[in-house]
Amino acid sequence: MTDQSPTQSSYQAEYERSMRDPEGFWGEAAEALHWDRRWERVLDDSRVTPDAPFYHWFSGGQLNTCFNAVDRHVEQGRGDQPAIIHDSPVTNSKTVITYAELKDQVARLAGVLRGVGVGKGDRVIVYMPMVPEAAVAMLACARIGAIHSVVFGGFSARELATRIDDAKPKVMVAGSCGIEPNRIVAYKPLLDAAIEAAAHKPEHCIILQREQGPCDLIPGRDLDWASTVADATPLDCVPVEATDPLYILYTSGTTGQPKGVVRDNGGHAVAMTWSMKNIYGMAPGEVFWAASDVGWVVGHSYIVYGPLLYGCTTIFYEGKPVGTPDAGAFWRVIEEHGVSVLFTAPTAFRAIKRDDPNAEHLKRYDTSKMRALFLAGERCDPDTLAWAGDNLGVPVVDHWWQTETGWAIAANCIGIEPLPIKPGSPTKAVPGYDLQVLDDQGGPVAAGDIGRIMIKLPMPPGCLPTLWNNDDRFIQSYMSVQPGYYLSGDAGFIDEDGYLFVMSRIDDIINVAGHRLSTGGMEAVLSSHPDVAECAVIGVADQLKGELPLGLVVLKAGVGRGVEEIGPELVKLVREQIGPVAAFKTVLVVERLPKTRSGKILRGTMKSIADGKEYRVPATIDDPAILAEIETALSKAGYAHH
């Protein structure tokens, strides 16, 4: 018997089943994995009270994430299949590691970790560039039940020190350096300074020496990766509780005490495995490329765990979308390695579009194996979506998720049933997520009205069960605004067809003379102008109207006109498409916008500059020099006066 009636789509049937019978739905999904001990309860709500929303998935079950991601495929006869392809234009090298080779490397590093006293529940901080050894380190921790916390390579010593003090790692695993297109970033001095500054002192550091920037080791504390791994005894996998932590990932842009998002072993493995087939439409053995970094949640979920759990080949790309060597870099990787699905941030495509607006580079490569492009990390403007779709000739899927959830909240689940695409929307809620838009009083809003995007509890497997050593902050940050709901922090609306539109962070809804307006909606209008490569809209303080929108735009390469001509056109566009109520009157043209290393535009920081407030340079910023440029541009326009 099937759930589907003739009028019901398979997506709709799957979604409704996940709402009606979450235990049956996720219990069935969990059968795809190897369990050392079967779970007692799929969804354990025995510890849930109105004040303590602590749900657990697959309690009583035992498994090992590393076994499921590596050993299982070797045992099933797929040991010769490539697991990881390292493609590094910055070092001009390419390396292929099979599942059998990966198993050996991981088992040996696990032996090194055990040899320096790391056991189940101990923490290990990984501070690595985009090299396969970063995945080896993560998997080696998972193999022995240790908890890894990856910190983005090259993060400042101060930020690394706060994470050392919060996670209290027994061991650090680090690379000697990272490599940018035009410079080498020495990691070891940052690592040493962080340990010096931290109150907690890790016992050992395992250092991967890179020939482009080797470093000195401190006798007694530091171990050389290559020699210790060569001499190590390989270890087998240790079963852990499904509810035991797999990793801690600190949210970017934190001030003071960082928020350590915890990910469990069982729910995470189930969600990752399910998502590879059902969201991304992948098959085992195919090549999946998430063009991100292991330091971010995308790197954890879809460079390392998702593809490997599902038996795919994953790509570690150590390069940029442009400049390594040109705006055709992505197309080369897709052709050379036969990529089926690419997942990246919209900012990468805006950079490619800005440098190569007519997609001339694309004509040099065969990208015919690619079936779909997935974008996430920030709102995707419809213009970038259309440019990518028109030039690549494949579905471009904007999907929405967060560090906290670990995987997509809303997406076009092409592995279940591709739905019609609506530009500006990440489509509909993924099965498992009871997505609602509520007003400030906690009531539902009408279709098309903006409100807070919330997820009704329980959230599906794979989402954060709590924050590291801080249950109170978990409740206060995410669960206290509306009991029984998770606060996403984003604002948006659901239209009459059930499509979600994420318009901005709740903080980016601006109040113009009593009207609540989304800066994201204005950005979508600005980015539709043929001369605009990317843009940001911020609300600046205004004595009369409370706030007024200010547009900052970056023009495409080769545009010969300036703000005098383009500015009035942009103002007119916003007036026509959003209305005079937006009171949109001012546009500045800037060379570039300040962003985090993961591609998010730092709107809050620019707002502080424009309002003349003190601001802190975010730890995650890609290039701090841009803030001085923005401050100069805003000052010239009459803003940024302290």
Residues 467 and 542 in one domain: no
Assigned domain for 236 exists:
yes
Same-domain status, 246 and 104: yes
Q: What is the mean pLDDT of residues 597-617?
A: 86
How confident is the model at residue 545, as a pLDDT?
Answer: 73
**What is the secondary structure of 237-284 as a DSSP string?**
---EETTSEEEEEEPTT--SS--EEEEESHHHHHHHHHHHHHTT---T
DSSP secondary structure letters along 508-575 = GEEEETTEEEEHHHHHHHHHTSTTEEEEEEEEEEETTTEEEEEEEEEEPTT----HHHHHHHHHHHHH
2 confidence band (pLDDT: 50, 70, 90) = very low
521 located within any domain: yes
Rounded-to-integer distance, Cα 395 and Cα 88, Å: 27
Selection from 198-207, 248-257, 600-609 with the highest mean pLDDT: 198-207
Same-domain pairing of 156 and 253: yes
392-448 tens-digit pLDDT: 999 999 999 999 999 999 999 999 999 999 988 999 999 999 999 999 889 999 999
Tokens linked to 189? 């001095």
- pTM for this structure? 0.85
Closest CA to 343 of 321, 383, 316, 373: 373
> Do 450 and 538 fall into the same domain?
no
The helix/strand count (H/E) of the chain reads as 20, 32
Same domain, residue pair 235 and 306: yes
* Higher-pLDDT residue of 117, 296: 117
Whether 335 and 365 have beta carbons less than 8 Å apart is answered as: yes
Domain harbouring 590, CATH code? 3.30.300.30
Average pLDDT over residues 170-189: 95
Tokens 């190590």, located at residue = 232
Tens-place pLDDT, residues 47-70: 888 778 999 999 999 999 999 999
Mean pLDDT of 479-498: 93
- Domain hosting 571: range is 513-636
Residue 393 in domain: no
140 with 66, same domain? yes
Q: Does residue 75 carry a pLDDT above 60?
A: yes
Residue 145 has pLDDT above 90, yes or no: yes
Tens digit of pLDDT for each residue in 258-313? 799 999 999 999 999 999 999 999 999 999 999 999 988 999 999 999 999 999 99
pLDDT for the residue numbered 3: 41
For 214-272, what is each residue's pLDDT tens digit? Answer: 999 999 999 999 999 999 999 999 999 999 999 999 985 434 567 999 999 999 999 99
Q: Determine the pLDDT at residue 372.
A: 97
Give the pLDDT of residue 619. Answer: 77
Residue 524 sits in the same domain as residue 489: no
Instruction: Report if residue 360 sits inside a domain.
Output: no
Residues 425 and 537 in one domain: no
464 and 527 share one domain:
no
29 and 128 fall within a common domain: yes
- Domain-located, residue 498: no
Domain count for the chain: 2
366 in a domain, yes or no?
A: no
> What token pair was written down for 331?
């197309």
The highest-confidence range among 155-164, 507-516, 517-526, 565-574, by mean pLDDT, is: 565-574
Pairing of strands 93-98, 62-63: unpaired
Same domain, 601 and 559: yes
Contacts of 452 (CB under 8 A, 6+ apart): 437, 438, 439, 440, 481, 482, 487, 488, 490, 491, 506
Give the C-alpha distances (Å, rounded to integers) separating 226 from 174, 206, 230, 572: 12, 9, 6, 61
CATH number at residue 302: 3.40.50.12780
